[in-house]
Amino acid sequence: MFFLWPEYLWLMLALPLLPAVYVWLLRRRRKSAVRYSSISIARAASAGPQWRRHVPPALLLLACAALMLAAARPMARVPLPWARSTIMLAMDVSLSMRVSDVQPTRLAAAQDAAKLFLRDLPKDIEVGLVTFAGSSQVAQRATLDRAALVAAIDGFQMQIGTAVGNAIVTCLAELFPDHGIDVGEMTFGSKQRGRSLDDKDRPPPKQITPVAPGSYKSAAVVLLSDGRRTTGVDTLDAAKMAADRGVRIYVVGLGTVGGPGGMPEGMPIYLQLDEPTLREVARMTGGEYHHAGTAEKLRSVYKNLGSQVQVQTRETEVTALLALGAALLALGAGVLSVVWFRRIT
């Protein structure tokens, strides 16, 4: 915790004076007791537990302390509802997802975990879906329609290759449509790609000022892959683009790190999980990396990610909370005084 106006903490030095004044008033009241003409009146006045008389003043003392602390405008790290409005799911659909080391297959386990993730997310968070193998495609634009997202997940079609960098760039193009991000041009270059009829509607590339990694609070990317990049945009170059825009990438590595010995098609390179690169993607963007070697672990990872993106710990001013607490303490002191003594003491 820290304070925006720490100079007001000097007010706390006056706090010990309040108990001293209270003790002085008690002694003064005892001296005036000799003025009573009847001992029975004094006994009636002192009837009941003696500790009750000290509770309302103690509550008022705590209320004053809370108000003095609130005057310094304290800041604390507290869990608050997630501020983001869009999550992009980037799912690997390369041929290696047919491997059954994660039961029943890597792809089926990933589909089940993704649908579980959607079910646990708040309904007011938009989700988009990007699939990638040798290239990347937007399977579903960001939407609140969970049924459409589930249908897109069930309709995955596997392909050859793994373009992890393209998936990240495609997610960024969806999140920042005015930045002029062109995956095709980054992959093949403007001359080799040629021009399409849609080029005239595409904004030119936007020069941006890099921000702190993870500082963009309106979106995040959840990336799942079971292999390593074999084509397309360099993975770390794409991660740098995300980091410069402040977008966090939460990476899930699926399957065994070494991969099986091979497949009938003879593609052992596609089965090797590139953990060092995926970890670096998460580190560069301020996200996290998780390895899931089983279907149960994958579901657990997605469930934890769903919890993380709903609540975040952020630095927030808690002056209002302290002021509210002080008001409740003062109110409690007044109520107890009226109930116990029929007057405000």
Whether 299 is covered by a domain: the verdict is no
Asked if residue 140 and residue 51 are part of one domain, the reply reads: no
Asked if residue 91 and residue 216 are part of one domain, the reply reads: yes
Q: Residue 321: what are its φ and ψ, rounded to 5°?
A: -65, -40
Asked if residue 273 and residue 334 are part of one domain, the reply reads: no
Q: Is pLDDT at 265 greater than 80 in this prediction?
A: no
- On average, the pLDDT of the chain sits at 82
Asked if residue 43 and residue 21 are part of one domain, the reply reads: yes
Predicted local distance difference test score (pLDDT) of residue 32: 60
Whether 269 is covered by a domain: the verdict is yes
pLDDT digits (tens, 9 = 90+) for 74-113: 887 766 555 557 899 999 999 989 888 888 999 999 999 9
The region of weakest confidence among 4-18, 162-176, 211-225, 241-255 is: 4-18
Asked if residue 260 and residue 226 are part of one domain, the reply reads: yes
Whether 304 is covered by a domain: the verdict is no
Predicted local distance difference test score (pLDDT) of residue 261: 44
pLDDT digits (tens, 9 = 90+) for 171-228: 999 999 989 898 888 877 654 444 554 555 566 777 889 999 988 888 899 999 988 8
Asked if residue 124 and residue 61 are part of one domain, the reply reads: no
Per the structure, the count of domains in the chain is 2
Q: Which residue has the higher pLDDT, 134 or 190?
A: 134
Asked if residue 145 and residue 8 are part of one domain, the reply reads: no
User: 85-116 burial by CB neighbour count: b if 16+ within 10 A, else e?
Assistant: ebbbbbbbbbbbbebebbeeebbbbbbbbbeb
pTM of the model: 0.65
Residue 39's pLDDT band (cuts 50, 70, 90)? low
Whether 134 is covered by a domain: the verdict is yes
Angle, alpha carbons 312-317-323 (nearest 5°): 125
- Cα–Cα dist 283/227, whole Å: 18
Q: Could you tell me what percent of the chain has a pLDDT over 70?
A: 80
Q: Is pLDDT at 165 greater than 80 in this prediction?
A: yes
- Cα–Cα dist 298/233, whole Å: 27
pLDDT digits (tens, 9 = 90+) for 315-337: 678 888 889 998 998 898 888 88
Asked if residue 118 and residue 256 are part of one domain, the reply reads: yes
Predicted local distance difference test score (pLDDT) of residue 264: 46
Cβ atoms within 10 Å of 9's Cβ, excluding its own: 14
Asked if residue 157 and residue 62 are part of one domain, the reply reads: no
Asked if residue 223 and residue 105 are part of one domain, the reply reads: yes
- Residue 168 sits in a domain whose CATH number is 3.40.50.410
Which residue, 344, 338, 300, 263, is CA-closest to 95?
263
Asked if residue 118 and residue 34 are part of one domain, the reply reads: no
CA R_g for the chain: 31
Predicted local distance difference test score (pLDDT) of residue 30: 67
Residue 251's pLDDT band (cuts 50, 70, 90)? very high
Whether 303 is covered by a domain: the verdict is no
- Out of 167-181, 257-271, 306-320, give the one with best mean pLDDT: 167-181
Q: Is pLDDT at 308 greater than 50 in this prediction?
A: yes
Whether 49 is covered by a domain: the verdict is yes
pLDDT digits (tens, 9 = 90+) for 108-128: 999 999 998 898 887 888 899
Q: Which residue has the higher pLDDT, 287 or 312?
A: 287
Q: Is pLDDT at 46 greater than 70 in this prediction?
A: no
Whether 16 is covered by a domain: the verdict is yes
In the three-class reduction of DSSP (H, G, I as helix; E, B as strand; rest coil), residue 247 is classed as coil
Asked if residue 275 and residue 172 are part of one domain, the reply reads: yes
Identify whether the C-beta of residue 128 lies closer than 8 Å to the C-beta of residue 114: no
Residue 31 belongs to domain spanning: 2-78+316-341
